[in-house]
A and B are shown apart, each in its own frame.
Chain A
Amino acid sequence: MKKRSWFQDNWLALLTGLIVGAAALLLARLGNPGNMGFCIACFERDIAGALGLHGAEAVQYFRPEIVGIVLGALLAALCFREFRGKGGSSPLLRLILGMLVMIGALVFLGCPLRMVIRIGGGDLNALVGLAGFIVGILVGVVFLKKGFTLGRAYGQSKAEGAAFPALLTLAFLLSVTGLVGLFRSSESGPGSKRALWYVALLAGMAVGFLAQRSRFCMAGGIRNAVMFRDFGLVAAFGMVILTVLVGNLLLGQFGGFAFEGQPVAHSDGLWNFLGMTVVGWGSVLLGGCPLRQLILAGEGNTDSAVTVVGMLLGAALSHNFKLASSADGSAPGGHTAVWAALVILLLISLVCTFAKKKEGTK
């Protein structure tokens, strides 16, 4: 067998990084908030707001990007015969982990994808977040190596696998046609800043399709580099930063690297760090970052669909109980929530690593 070169194995991941970066630049240019061409956590938070799960008026909008990502992944999975209903691997724990990841992300103000987009935009707070994210991943990897598992998933019906993409699409159609005034929509604040819906939808679909094919994942990149010396996905991660940085320079909108005055960001270093520690740790336990959960949900994985629902609930909690940060800084409630999240992550990690071993030795 001829040995495949590194590039042959990883060109698709690099291309995905390039397209994700370019799409993020485009969407921010066309109206999305600054350094927020894509942000899975923020956009799911906006959807939670549109659904009325929280009452923060500045962040309510049924973001077409999220729908596009799921539909793009669904399309890719159907084209390549990878769509299958699958689930049953600790759904409730995944729901809780999804909530924790969202709470951590909203203390930092971004998912791992927005973190790299922020870095490419010159936001140094995101570098602090990256350090926290890496620490979280490393802690998660320690438990993975000791045998952490959420258990096996089992085959489910196609209907079960299709339920989440179908429900999301239906809700989106109701929102976009405006036939019924069901959903809330921000008139000011980040939720009111938006690219044209069909451009956002198409950009999401392109990203979803490519990310499904390349298994693009922000947490998986660092994890695979540490655990298996496999650098394909982490290179894609770097590619997003590079694309966004070069793009911002070319578009003349790069204002240099700085901590202060960054769009939809704050400079509370400790909470940027710890918020992303929660996200990194939780994502490794879940087997993928928030973007990857959307992709898997599009492939028919109901455990990931449940995780996304957990993230919507986490967003609701964050805004209903004032845990989320704002551009003014982190909130006291968020500090407590991050400590609580770290304790819960530790408990879940310990129980799912060691309780299972005991069972195995019976």
Chain B
Amino acid sequence: MIDARGFSCPQPVLMVQQAVKRDAPKTLTVLVDDQCAVGNIRRFAASQGYQVRVTEQGEEFSLELTK
């Protein structure tokens, strides 16, 4: 799981990019607290062939990436 809460763009999507590059995981959970990061990660994950499910929890978002 990646906890990218509090980091500003582009760090959250960079953290995801590095995890994908390193381990090529089948599933990955990412926590963020910023709509901009949600959009960036969603676009990047889709470009890498992941399906993305976003759940809003109060002021935070949990993104489930699955391949």
Contacts and interface: CB of A to CB of B under 8 A. Distances in A.
Q: Report if A and B associate in a common complex.
A: yes
A238 B59 CA distance: 34
Contacts of A84: 59
Contacts of B10: 144, 220, 223-224, 227-228, 287
Contact of B47 (A82, A86, A154, A229): A229
Given A1-B51, A145-B14, A215-B36, A287 B46 contact: no
B63 interface: no
B67 interface: no
A interface majority secondary structure: loop
A84 B59 CA distance: 9
B25 interface: no
A270 to B, nearest CB: 30
Interface in B18-67: 33, 35-36, 39-40, 43-44, 46-47, 51, 59
Contact of B9 (A149, A151, A220): A220
Nearest to A215: B36
A287 B13 CA distance: 12
A228 B17 contact: yes
A80 B56 CA distance: 14
Nearest to A230: B43
A155 B10 CA distance: 19
A223 B46 CA distance: 19
A150 B43 CA distance: 24
A231 B36 CA distance: 16
A215 B39 contact: yes
Contacts of A303: 8
Given A89-B6, A152-B6, A153-B8, A227 B43 contact: no
Interface residues of A, number: 30
A3 B48 CA distance: 12
A132 B14 CA distance: 24
Nearest to A150: B8
Contact of B11 (A82, A86, A149, A230): A149
A155 B11 CA distance: 18
Given A149-B11, A228-B44, A155 B39 contact: no
A144 B14 contact: yes
A82 B39 CA distance: 13
Contacts of B40: 224, 228, 230
Interface in A141-200: 144-145, 149-155
A9 interface: yes
A223 B9 CA distance: 11
A133 to B, nearest CB: 17
A153 B33 CA distance: 10
Contacts of A86: 33
Closest 9 CB pairs of A and B: A152-B6, A287-B8, A153-B6, A215-B36, A82-B35, A228-B44, A1-B51, A287-B9, A152-B7
26 contacts: A1-B51, A9-B43, A80-B35, A84-B59, A89-B7, A89-B8, A145-B14, A149-B7, A149-B11, A150-B8, A151-B6, A153-B7, A153-B8, A155-B33, A220-B9, A220-B10, A224-B10, A224-B40, A227-B17, A228-B17, A228-B40, A228-B43, A228-B44, A229-B47, A287-B11, A288-B9
Given A152-B5, A220-B10, A287-B9, 7 more contacts: A89-B6, A215-B39, A224-B10, A227-B14, A227-B17, A228-B44, A287-B10
